[in-house]
Amino acid sequence: MSPTPPRTNQARTRRILLVVAAVLIDREGQILVAQRPEGKSYAGWWEFPGGKVERDESPERALVRELGEELGIEALEEDLEPFTFISTDCGSFHLLMPVYLLQHWEGTPTSRENQTLAWIRPEALGGLQLLKPDLPLVPRLEAYFQRFSP
């Protein structure tokens, strides 16, 4: 009988892609979601605003930059509240995505990159075709918002 090979979680480690995302929450407790536009990978799927962290950029700086580029808003790094993170195998890369909550910003979020924007109630998140890596965020956000409902 041959010896049992050691158990490993994964055959090999893939390149880590560091992406940051923000859950914007307005005064009515609605959250902002964005639909990826034609021409991008996963066009038509919904996601949270954000994007890839560039070389020599902190996650918070990257997110402030992405929010400016995608939504035309000004956010402060200190207003980004760490919420959770996603760490998952996406096939050709391993996605590591810190997710922040944001309740204060300057300006009105506007589509700057042809994405469709929607303000939705947290309980409507489950009905959207969200990017698969984002699915664990749905129950976590629902639980977060339930804590504040009467």
Ligand X SMILES: Nc1nc2c([nH]c(=O)n2[C@H]2C[C@H](O)[C@@H](COP(=O)(O)OP(=O)(O)OP(=O)(O)O)O2)c(=O)[nH]1
Binding mask 80-119 for ligand X (x = CB under 6 A): ---------------x------------------------
Token representation of residue 147:
């804590």
Residue with Cβ nearer ligand X (13 or 149): 13
* Piece of 43-51, 72-80, 105-113, 119-127 that binds ligand X (CB under 6 A): 43-51
Cα 105 to Cα 107: distance, rounded to the nearest angstrom: 7
Can you tell me which of 23, 24, 50, 80 binds ligand X, judged by CB under 6 A? 50
Contacts of 23 (CB under 8 A, 6+ apart): 31, 32, 48, 83, 99, 100, 101, 102, 137, 141
* Piece of 24-32, 45-53, 116-124, 141-149 that binds ligand X (CB under 6 A): 45-53
CB atoms within 10 A of CB 68: 15
Report if residue 41 touches ligand X, rule: CB under 6 A.
yes
Beta strand pairing status for 31-35 and 46-47? antiparallel
- Residues in contact with ligand X by the rule CB under 6 A: 19, 21, 40-41, 47-48, 50-52, 95, 131, 133-134
